[in-house]
Structure 1
Amino acid sequence: ALQYNERCSNALNNTKLICNTRGEDLTLSEAIIDLTHLSNQQFIGTEPIRLYFLHQCVPQLKLSQSHPFIIDHHRLRDLGVTIFTWEQAIDMFKSKEFQKKFSVDSNIQLISYLYDSKIDKEIAKLLHRIPFIMDRNKCLQIPTEIFFPSKFNDISWYSNNTQGTYVHEDLMNKLKSDHIKWLEQLGVAFRTDLSFFYHTIIPQASTFINVENAPHTIQRLCHLYVNGQIHPDDLKKLGKLSLLTKDNTLVPANRLYLSA
Protein backbone atom coordinates (compact mmCIF):
# COMPACT_ATOMS: atom_id res chain seq x y z
CA ALA A 1 0.00 0.00 0.00
CA LEU A 2 2.87 2.34 0.85
CA GLN A 3 4.58 1.71 -2.49
CA TYR A 4 1.28 2.22 -4.29
CA ASN A 5 0.78 5.58 -2.59
CA GLU A 6 4.33 6.63 -3.46
CA ARG A 7 3.83 5.69 -7.10
CA CYS A 8 0.57 7.61 -7.22
CA SER A 9 2.25 10.62 -5.64
CA ASN A 10 5.16 10.48 -8.09
CA ALA A 11 2.80 10.13 -11.03
CA LEU A 12 0.78 13.09 -9.78
CA ASN A 13 3.87 15.26 -9.38
CA ASN A 14 5.49 14.31 -12.68
CA THR A 15 2.47 14.34 -14.97
CA LYS A 16 1.59 17.54 -16.83
CA LEU A 17 -2.03 17.60 -15.76
CA ILE A 18 -2.73 21.33 -15.41
CA CYS A 19 -2.53 24.30 -17.77
CA ASN A 20 -1.06 27.72 -17.14
CA THR A 21 -2.96 30.85 -18.14
CA ARG A 22 -1.44 30.58 -21.62
CA GLY A 23 -2.77 27.06 -22.15
CA GLU A 24 0.60 25.34 -21.70
CA ASP A 25 0.78 22.07 -19.77
CA LEU A 26 2.51 22.02 -16.38
CA THR A 27 3.18 19.60 -13.58
CA LEU A 28 2.13 20.51 -10.05
CA SER A 29 5.72 21.31 -9.15
CA GLU A 30 6.02 23.75 -12.07
CA ALA A 31 2.95 25.80 -11.18
CA ILE A 32 2.32 28.93 -9.10
CA ILE A 33 -1.01 30.33 -7.94
CA ASP A 34 -0.71 34.12 -7.73
CA LEU A 35 -3.14 35.35 -5.09
CA THR A 36 -1.95 38.96 -5.53
CA HIS A 37 -2.70 39.09 -9.27
CA LEU A 38 0.51 41.11 -9.68
CA SER A 39 1.72 38.72 -12.36
CA ASN A 40 -1.14 40.01 -14.52
CA GLN A 41 0.00 43.62 -14.18
CA GLN A 42 2.46 45.02 -16.72
CA PHE A 43 4.33 47.03 -14.09
CA ILE A 44 5.26 43.79 -12.27
CA GLY A 45 4.60 40.89 -14.62
CA THR A 46 5.60 37.27 -14.34
CA GLU A 47 9.40 37.40 -14.41
CA PRO A 48 10.07 39.20 -11.08
CA ILE A 49 7.85 36.70 -9.24
CA ARG A 50 9.45 33.75 -11.01
CA LEU A 51 12.92 35.07 -10.13
CA TYR A 52 11.80 35.66 -6.55
CA PHE A 53 10.97 31.97 -6.15
CA LEU A 54 14.21 30.96 -7.84
CA HIS A 55 16.15 33.02 -5.29
CA GLN A 56 14.05 31.54 -2.48
CA CYS A 57 15.03 28.02 -3.57
CA VAL A 58 11.59 26.55 -2.83
CA PRO A 59 12.25 22.75 -2.69
CA GLN A 60 9.03 21.54 -4.30
CA LEU A 61 9.08 24.13 -7.09
CA LYS A 62 10.72 23.41 -10.44
CA LEU A 63 10.49 26.55 -12.55
CA SER A 64 11.38 25.14 -15.93
CA GLN A 65 8.56 27.12 -17.56
CA SER A 66 8.82 30.85 -18.21
CA HIS A 67 5.13 31.24 -17.34
CA PRO A 68 4.27 29.08 -14.31
CA PHE A 69 1.06 30.86 -13.32
CA ILE A 70 -2.25 29.02 -13.19
CA ILE A 71 -5.83 29.88 -12.25
CA ASP A 72 -6.53 29.49 -8.55
CA HIS A 73 -8.53 26.49 -7.34
CA HIS A 74 -8.83 25.13 -3.82
CA ARG A 75 -8.18 21.55 -4.99
CA LEU A 76 -4.91 22.62 -6.60
CA ARG A 77 -3.92 24.28 -3.33
CA ASP A 78 -4.76 21.04 -1.52
CA LEU A 79 -2.44 19.20 -3.91
CA GLY A 80 0.44 21.44 -2.82
CA VAL A 81 0.77 23.90 -5.69
CA THR A 82 3.03 26.81 -4.68
CA ILE A 83 1.17 30.00 -3.74
CA PHE A 84 2.36 33.59 -4.12
CA THR A 85 0.83 35.77 -1.38
CA TRP A 86 0.96 39.44 -0.43
CA GLU A 87 3.35 38.55 2.38
CA GLN A 88 5.73 37.19 -0.23
CA ALA A 89 5.11 40.23 -2.43
CA ILE A 90 6.24 42.43 0.47
CA ASP A 91 9.38 40.32 0.77
CA MET A 92 9.95 40.59 -2.99
CA PHE A 93 9.54 44.38 -2.97
CA LYS A 94 12.23 44.58 -0.27
CA SER A 95 14.75 42.57 -2.28
CA LYS A 96 17.67 44.31 -3.98
CA GLU A 97 17.16 42.19 -7.09
CA PHE A 98 13.65 43.55 -7.55
CA GLN A 99 14.47 47.17 -6.72
CA LYS A 100 17.40 47.28 -9.16
CA LYS A 101 15.06 46.73 -12.10
CA PHE A 102 12.01 48.62 -10.83
CA SER A 103 11.46 51.94 -12.60
CA VAL A 104 9.75 55.19 -11.61
CA ASP A 105 7.07 54.64 -14.25
CA SER A 106 6.38 51.17 -12.87
CA ASN A 107 6.21 52.66 -9.39
CA ILE A 108 3.60 55.17 -10.56
CA GLN A 109 1.51 52.28 -11.88
CA LEU A 110 1.97 50.27 -8.67
CA ILE A 111 0.81 53.23 -6.57
CA SER A 112 -2.18 53.69 -8.86
CA TYR A 113 -2.98 49.97 -8.64
CA LEU A 114 -2.87 49.96 -4.83
CA TYR A 115 -4.90 53.18 -4.74
CA ASP A 116 -7.59 51.58 -6.90
CA SER A 117 -7.42 48.40 -4.78
CA LYS A 118 -7.66 50.11 -1.39
CA ILE A 119 -11.21 48.82 -0.92
CA ASP A 120 -9.80 45.28 -0.91
CA LYS A 121 -9.76 44.32 2.77
CA GLU A 122 -6.58 42.25 2.56
CA ILE A 123 -4.65 44.97 0.75
CA ALA A 124 -6.03 47.67 3.07
CA LYS A 125 -4.67 45.78 6.09
CA LEU A 126 -1.21 45.51 4.53
CA LEU A 127 -0.77 48.98 3.01
CA HIS A 128 1.26 50.23 5.97
CA ARG A 129 3.65 47.31 5.57
CA ILE A 130 4.06 47.27 1.80
CA PRO A 131 7.22 49.08 0.64
CA PHE A 132 5.82 50.65 -2.52
CA ILE A 133 7.14 54.24 -2.60
CA MET A 134 10.47 54.90 -4.31
CA ASP A 135 13.00 57.15 -2.61
CA ARG A 136 15.84 59.08 -4.23
CA ASN A 137 18.11 56.04 -3.90
CA LYS A 138 15.56 54.04 -5.93
CA CYS A 139 14.74 51.91 -2.90
CA LEU A 140 11.13 51.18 -1.96
CA GLN A 141 9.89 52.41 1.40
CA ILE A 142 6.77 51.96 3.50
CA PRO A 143 4.60 55.09 3.90
CA THR A 144 5.71 55.94 7.44
CA GLU A 145 9.42 55.85 6.59
CA ILE A 146 9.50 58.31 3.70
CA PHE A 147 8.65 61.98 3.28
CA PHE A 148 7.48 64.31 0.58
CA PRO A 149 10.06 67.10 0.12
CA SER A 150 9.02 70.50 1.37
CA LYS A 151 7.80 73.02 -1.17
CA PHE A 152 11.01 74.84 -0.40
CA ASN A 153 13.99 74.00 -2.60
CA ASP A 154 15.36 72.33 0.50
CA ILE A 155 19.11 71.75 0.65
CA SER A 156 18.49 68.40 2.31
CA TRP A 157 16.86 67.28 -0.96
CA TYR A 158 20.36 67.12 -2.42
CA SER A 159 22.18 65.86 0.65
CA ASN A 160 23.64 62.36 0.20
CA ASN A 161 22.82 61.24 3.71
CA THR A 162 19.12 62.05 3.45
CA GLN A 163 18.29 60.76 -0.04
CA GLY A 164 16.50 57.74 1.34
CA THR A 165 14.08 59.80 3.39
CA TYR A 166 12.48 61.63 0.46
CA VAL A 167 10.20 60.57 -2.39
CA HIS A 168 12.07 60.25 -5.69
CA GLU A 169 12.05 63.54 -7.59
CA ASP A 170 10.65 62.03 -10.82
CA LEU A 171 7.98 60.19 -8.87
CA MET A 172 7.04 63.38 -7.06
CA ASN A 173 6.62 65.21 -10.36
CA LYS A 174 4.33 62.53 -11.79
CA LEU A 175 2.11 61.73 -8.81
CA LYS A 176 -1.53 62.75 -9.16
CA SER A 177 -2.98 65.00 -6.46
CA ASP A 178 -5.41 62.27 -5.40
CA HIS A 179 -2.52 59.86 -4.92
CA ILE A 180 -0.57 62.42 -2.88
CA LYS A 181 -3.54 63.00 -0.57
CA TRP A 182 -3.99 59.25 -0.19
CA LEU A 183 -0.30 58.73 0.60
CA GLU A 184 -0.53 61.50 3.20
CA GLN A 185 -3.39 59.59 4.82
CA LEU A 186 -1.15 56.52 4.95
CA GLY A 187 1.56 58.47 6.77
CA VAL A 188 3.74 60.15 4.13
CA ALA A 189 4.26 63.67 5.45
CA PHE A 190 5.68 66.84 3.94
CA ARG A 191 8.96 67.28 5.76
CA THR A 192 10.54 70.69 6.06
CA ASP A 193 14.22 70.43 6.85
CA LEU A 194 15.28 73.73 8.36
CA SER A 195 18.85 73.29 7.15
CA PHE A 196 17.87 75.29 4.06
CA PHE A 197 16.60 78.10 6.23
CA TYR A 198 19.63 78.17 8.51
CA HIS A 199 22.34 77.46 5.95
CA THR A 200 21.02 79.40 2.97
CA ILE A 201 18.31 81.93 3.81
CA ILE A 202 19.93 83.48 6.89
CA PRO A 203 23.51 83.72 5.49
CA GLN A 204 22.19 85.14 2.21
CA ALA A 205 19.39 87.24 3.69
CA SER A 206 20.45 90.37 1.81
CA THR A 207 20.80 88.68 -1.59
CA PHE A 208 18.60 85.59 -1.65
CA ILE A 209 15.27 87.20 -2.52
CA ASN A 210 14.44 88.25 -6.08
CA VAL A 211 11.21 89.30 -7.77
CA GLU A 212 10.51 85.76 -8.96
CA ASN A 213 11.02 83.86 -5.71
CA ALA A 214 9.85 86.55 -3.26
CA PRO A 215 6.13 85.60 -2.96
CA HIS A 216 6.76 81.88 -2.57
CA THR A 217 9.71 82.27 -0.20
CA ILE A 218 7.97 84.72 2.13
CA GLN A 219 4.82 82.60 2.10
CA ARG A 220 6.85 79.55 3.05
CA LEU A 221 8.70 81.39 5.82
CA CYS A 222 5.36 82.53 7.23
CA HIS A 223 4.13 78.95 7.14
CA LEU A 224 7.21 77.78 9.05
CA TYR A 225 6.77 80.52 11.64
CA VAL A 226 3.06 79.88 12.15
CA ASN A 227 3.81 76.19 12.66
CA GLY A 228 6.44 76.98 15.27
CA GLN A 229 9.43 75.82 13.25
CA ILE A 230 10.98 79.28 13.10
CA HIS A 231 11.32 81.06 16.43
CA PRO A 232 11.10 84.82 17.09
CA ASP A 233 14.86 84.94 17.65
CA ASP A 234 15.34 83.57 14.13
CA LEU A 235 13.29 86.42 12.68
CA LYS A 236 15.74 88.96 14.09
CA LYS A 237 18.35 87.52 11.73
CA LEU A 238 16.17 88.31 8.72
CA GLY A 239 16.28 92.09 8.96
CA LYS A 240 18.13 92.35 5.65
CA LEU A 241 15.77 89.97 3.86
CA SER A 242 14.17 91.82 0.96
CA LEU A 243 10.40 92.05 0.73
CA LEU A 244 8.28 92.89 -2.28
CA THR A 245 6.57 96.28 -1.96
CA LYS A 246 3.35 97.49 -3.54
CA ASP A 247 5.48 99.14 -6.21
CA ASN A 248 6.92 95.72 -7.10
CA THR A 249 10.35 96.66 -5.80
CA LEU A 250 12.56 94.84 -3.33
CA VAL A 251 13.41 96.56 -0.06
CA PRO A 252 15.09 95.08 3.05
CA ALA A 253 12.59 94.27 5.80
CA ASN A 254 14.35 96.53 8.33
CA ARG A 255 13.67 99.53 6.08
CA LEU A 256 9.96 98.89 5.65
CA TYR A 257 6.88 99.61 7.71
CA LEU A 258 3.30 98.37 7.64
CA SER A 259 0.67 100.72 6.27
CA ALA A 260 -2.10 101.72 8.62
Structure 2
Amino acid sequence: MLQNKRVIYFFLILSILLSNCTNSTIVFTDDFENESLDEWSKSGAGKVYLDASKSHSGKQSICFESGEGFKNRAFIALENKTITSLERFYGSMYMFVEEASPDGVHWTMIQASGTTPNGFHSEIRYGGQHQKRIMANYDTNPIKTDCWHHTQFKIPEKKWFSVQWFFDRKSNNAKLWIDGKLVHELNANDVDKGCLANDNNQNWTFPLFEQLTLGWVDYQKGGGSRKIWIDDVILSKEKL
Protein backbone atom coordinates (compact mmCIF):
# COMPACT_ATOMS: atom_id res chain seq x y z
CA MET A 1 0.00 0.00 0.00
CA LEU A 2 2.82 2.42 0.90
CA GLN A 3 4.60 1.61 -2.36
CA ASN A 4 1.44 2.35 -4.34
CA LYS A 5 1.05 5.70 -2.59
CA ARG A 6 4.64 6.59 -3.44
CA VAL A 7 4.03 5.75 -7.12
CA ILE A 8 0.87 7.85 -7.20
CA TYR A 9 2.65 10.72 -5.46
CA PHE A 10 5.55 10.52 -7.94
CA PHE A 11 3.30 10.75 -10.98
CA LEU A 12 1.30 13.59 -9.38
CA ILE A 13 4.48 15.63 -8.87
CA LEU A 14 5.68 14.78 -12.40
CA SER A 15 2.36 15.92 -13.84
CA ILE A 16 2.56 19.23 -11.97
CA LEU A 17 6.14 19.83 -13.13
CA LEU A 18 5.28 19.10 -16.76
CA SER A 19 2.22 21.32 -16.53
CA ASN A 20 4.26 24.21 -15.13
CA CYS A 21 6.86 23.76 -17.85
CA THR A 22 4.20 23.88 -20.56
CA ASN A 23 2.48 26.89 -19.01
CA SER A 24 5.74 28.85 -18.83
CA THR A 25 6.30 28.16 -22.53
CA ILE A 26 2.90 29.53 -23.58
CA VAL A 27 2.72 33.33 -23.46
CA PHE A 28 -0.72 33.98 -25.00
CA THR A 29 -3.87 32.06 -25.95
CA ASP A 30 -7.28 32.94 -27.37
CA ASP A 31 -9.97 30.40 -28.29
CA PHE A 32 -12.49 33.17 -29.10
CA GLU A 33 -15.10 31.81 -26.73
CA ASN A 34 -15.53 35.22 -25.05
CA GLU A 35 -18.15 37.77 -26.01
CA SER A 36 -15.62 40.37 -27.15
CA LEU A 37 -12.21 40.84 -28.76
CA ASP A 38 -10.87 43.13 -26.04
CA GLU A 39 -7.24 42.04 -26.39
CA TRP A 40 -7.21 42.68 -30.14
CA SER A 41 -7.54 45.83 -32.23
CA LYS A 42 -9.27 45.78 -35.61
CA SER A 43 -8.18 47.47 -38.83
CA GLY A 44 -9.51 47.77 -42.36
CA ALA A 45 -12.92 48.26 -43.92
CA GLY A 46 -13.56 44.49 -43.99
CA LYS A 47 -15.74 42.70 -41.44
CA VAL A 48 -14.32 41.01 -38.33
CA TYR A 49 -16.68 39.28 -35.89
CA LEU A 50 -17.12 36.33 -33.54
CA ASP A 51 -19.06 33.61 -35.34
CA ALA A 52 -20.87 30.51 -34.08
CA SER A 53 -21.40 29.02 -37.54
CA LYS A 54 -17.91 27.47 -37.61
CA SER A 55 -15.36 26.52 -34.97
CA HIS A 56 -12.38 24.23 -34.62
CA SER A 57 -13.08 23.83 -30.92
CA GLY A 58 -15.72 25.20 -28.58
CA LYS A 59 -18.77 27.05 -29.85
CA GLN A 60 -17.33 29.84 -31.98
CA SER A 61 -14.37 31.23 -33.89
CA ILE A 62 -13.51 34.60 -35.42
CA CYS A 63 -14.60 35.33 -38.97
CA PHE A 64 -12.90 37.71 -41.42
CA GLU A 65 -14.59 39.05 -44.55
CA SER A 66 -12.18 41.09 -46.69
CA GLY A 67 -12.63 42.88 -49.99
CA GLU A 68 -10.45 44.05 -52.86
CA GLY A 69 -7.35 46.12 -52.11
CA PHE A 70 -5.56 47.08 -48.90
CA LYS A 71 -8.33 49.44 -47.75
CA ASN A 72 -10.78 46.53 -47.50
CA ARG A 73 -8.53 44.30 -45.38
CA ALA A 74 -9.94 42.44 -42.37
CA PHE A 75 -7.30 42.33 -39.62
CA ILE A 76 -6.94 41.94 -35.88
CA ALA A 77 -3.70 42.95 -34.15
CA LEU A 78 -2.11 42.15 -30.81
CA GLU A 79 0.14 44.70 -29.15
CA ASN A 80 1.37 44.11 -25.59
CA LYS A 81 4.49 43.81 -23.44
CA THR A 82 4.61 40.06 -23.98
CA ILE A 83 5.11 40.54 -27.73
CA THR A 84 7.80 43.22 -27.36
CA SER A 85 9.75 41.14 -24.84
CA LEU A 86 10.20 38.25 -27.28
CA GLU A 87 13.28 37.89 -29.45
CA ARG A 88 11.78 34.79 -31.04
CA PHE A 89 8.41 33.10 -30.78
CA TYR A 90 6.22 30.38 -32.20
CA GLY A 91 2.60 30.92 -33.13
CA SER A 92 -0.15 28.49 -33.97
CA MET A 93 -3.79 28.65 -34.98
CA TYR A 94 -6.41 26.83 -36.97
CA MET A 95 -7.78 28.32 -40.18
CA PHE A 96 -10.69 27.67 -42.50
CA VAL A 97 -10.33 29.37 -45.90
CA GLU A 98 -13.49 29.35 -47.99
CA GLU A 99 -11.55 30.26 -51.13
CA ALA A 100 -8.03 31.71 -51.37
CA SER A 101 -7.15 34.70 -53.55
CA PRO A 102 -6.95 33.97 -57.31
CA ASP A 103 -3.70 33.69 -59.25
CA GLY A 104 -1.68 36.90 -59.30
CA VAL A 105 -3.31 38.50 -56.27
CA HIS A 106 -0.90 38.87 -53.34
CA TRP A 107 -2.39 38.21 -49.91
CA THR A 108 -1.20 38.28 -46.27
CA MET A 109 -2.66 36.29 -43.36
CA ILE A 110 0.11 36.57 -40.69
CA GLN A 111 2.33 39.59 -40.03
CA ALA A 112 4.82 40.65 -37.35
CA SER A 113 5.96 44.26 -37.48
CA GLY A 114 7.95 46.94 -35.68
CA THR A 115 11.11 49.04 -35.77
CA THR A 116 14.40 47.42 -36.78
CA PRO A 117 17.78 48.02 -35.07
CA ASN A 118 18.61 50.18 -38.12
CA GLY A 119 15.73 52.53 -37.37
CA PHE A 120 13.32 51.72 -40.21
CA HIS A 121 9.98 49.92 -39.90
CA SER A 122 9.70 46.38 -41.25
CA GLU A 123 7.02 43.73 -41.65
CA ILE A 124 7.62 39.99 -41.98
CA ARG A 125 4.59 38.23 -43.46
CA TYR A 126 3.14 34.91 -44.51
CA GLY A 127 0.54 34.79 -47.24
CA GLY A 128 0.67 33.84 -50.90
CA GLN A 129 0.32 34.91 -54.51
CA HIS A 130 0.87 32.58 -57.48
CA GLN A 131 -1.64 29.74 -58.01
CA LYS A 132 -2.64 30.08 -54.32
CA ARG A 133 0.88 29.06 -53.22
CA ILE A 134 2.25 30.08 -49.82
CA MET A 135 4.79 32.92 -49.88
CA ALA A 136 6.92 34.74 -47.31
CA ASN A 137 7.02 38.50 -47.85
CA TYR A 138 9.14 41.30 -46.35
CA ASP A 139 8.48 45.01 -46.67
CA THR A 140 9.82 48.20 -45.12
CA ASN A 141 9.35 51.94 -44.83
CA PRO A 142 10.56 54.55 -45.42
CA ILE A 143 13.25 52.53 -47.24
CA LYS A 144 11.98 50.35 -50.10
CA THR A 145 12.38 46.56 -50.29
CA ASP A 146 9.23 44.40 -50.89
CA CYS A 147 10.97 41.02 -50.90
CA TRP A 148 9.48 37.61 -51.60
CA HIS A 149 10.25 33.93 -51.08
CA HIS A 150 7.83 31.60 -52.86
CA THR A 151 6.97 27.99 -52.07
CA GLN A 152 5.30 25.24 -54.08
CA PHE A 153 2.73 24.55 -51.35
CA LYS A 154 -0.88 25.55 -52.01
CA ILE A 155 -2.99 26.76 -49.10
CA PRO A 156 -5.80 24.31 -48.15
CA GLU A 157 -9.39 25.39 -48.77
CA LYS A 158 -12.83 24.45 -47.42
CA LYS A 159 -11.51 22.63 -44.35
CA TRP A 160 -9.92 23.37 -41.00
CA PHE A 161 -6.13 23.12 -41.07
CA SER A 162 -3.39 23.97 -38.59
CA VAL A 163 -0.93 26.81 -39.14
CA GLN A 164 2.28 27.14 -37.12
CA TRP A 165 4.92 29.80 -37.61
CA PHE A 166 8.26 30.86 -36.16
CA PHE A 167 9.82 34.33 -36.16
CA ASP A 168 13.35 34.96 -34.86
CA ARG A 169 14.62 38.53 -34.99
CA LYS A 170 18.17 37.59 -33.95
CA SER A 171 18.76 35.17 -36.82
CA ASN A 172 16.31 36.91 -39.20
CA ASN A 173 14.65 33.57 -39.83
CA ALA A 174 11.05 32.47 -40.29
CA LYS A 175 9.39 29.07 -40.68
CA LEU A 176 5.87 27.93 -41.52
CA TRP A 177 4.17 24.57 -40.98
CA ILE A 178 0.78 23.57 -42.45
CA ASP A 179 -0.86 20.55 -40.76
CA GLY A 180 2.51 19.75 -39.19
CA LYS A 181 4.45 19.83 -42.47
CA LEU A 182 7.28 22.36 -42.81
CA VAL A 183 6.42 24.22 -46.02
CA HIS A 184 8.81 27.17 -45.72
CA GLU A 185 12.03 28.24 -44.03
CA LEU A 186 13.43 31.64 -44.94
CA ASN A 187 17.12 30.81 -44.37
CA ALA A 188 16.98 27.35 -45.93
CA ASN A 189 17.62 28.33 -49.55
CA ASP A 190 17.43 31.15 -52.10
CA VAL A 191 15.19 29.44 -54.64
CA ASP A 192 12.60 31.86 -56.10
CA LYS A 193 13.69 34.61 -53.72
CA GLY A 194 14.31 38.30 -54.37
CA CYS A 195 13.32 41.93 -53.77
CA LEU A 196 11.57 44.53 -55.91
CA ALA A 197 13.80 47.26 -54.45
CA ASN A 198 17.29 47.12 -52.99
CA ASP A 199 17.39 49.76 -50.22
CA ASN A 200 18.36 47.06 -47.68
CA ASN A 201 20.83 45.14 -49.87
CA GLN A 202 18.42 42.18 -50.31
CA ASN A 203 18.48 41.58 -46.52
CA TRP A 204 15.41 40.65 -44.45
CA THR A 205 16.16 42.65 -41.28
CA PHE A 206 13.58 41.63 -38.68
CA PRO A 207 12.09 44.21 -36.30
CA LEU A 208 11.46 44.38 -32.60
CA PHE A 209 8.11 42.59 -32.42
CA GLU A 210 5.73 45.43 -31.60
CA GLN A 211 2.62 44.05 -33.27
CA LEU A 212 1.25 40.69 -34.44
CA THR A 213 -1.49 40.88 -37.08
CA LEU A 214 -3.80 38.07 -38.22
CA GLY A 215 -6.58 37.97 -40.78
CA TRP A 216 -6.61 38.60 -44.52
CA VAL A 217 -5.74 41.28 -47.06
CA ASP A 218 -5.64 41.21 -50.86
CA TYR A 219 -3.26 43.96 -51.98
CA GLN A 220 -4.60 44.12 -55.55
CA LYS A 221 -8.11 44.64 -56.86
CA GLY A 222 -9.94 42.26 -59.16
CA GLY A 223 -9.88 39.20 -56.92
CA GLY A 224 -13.31 39.53 -55.34
CA SER A 225 -14.00 39.05 -51.63
CA ARG A 226 -12.55 36.55 -49.16
CA LYS A 227 -14.08 34.81 -46.15
CA ILE A 228 -11.94 32.94 -43.61
CA TRP A 229 -12.16 31.77 -40.01
CA ILE A 230 -9.47 31.53 -37.33
CA ASP A 231 -9.61 29.65 -34.04
CA ASP A 232 -7.38 28.58 -31.12
CA VAL A 233 -4.50 31.06 -31.38
CA ILE A 234 -1.45 30.22 -29.23
CA LEU A 235 1.86 32.09 -28.90
CA SER A 236 4.75 30.29 -27.20
CA LYS A 237 8.48 30.47 -26.58
CA GLU A 238 8.99 26.91 -27.82
CA LYS A 239 7.32 24.84 -30.52
CA LEU A 240 4.33 22.98 -29.09
User: TM-score, normalized by length of structure 2?
Assistant: 0.25
Structure number with the higher helix fraction is 1
Structure with the largest fraction of strand: 2
**Larger Cα Rg: Structure 1 or Structure 2?**
1
Q: Which has the higher contact order (CA 8 A, sep 6+)?
A: 2
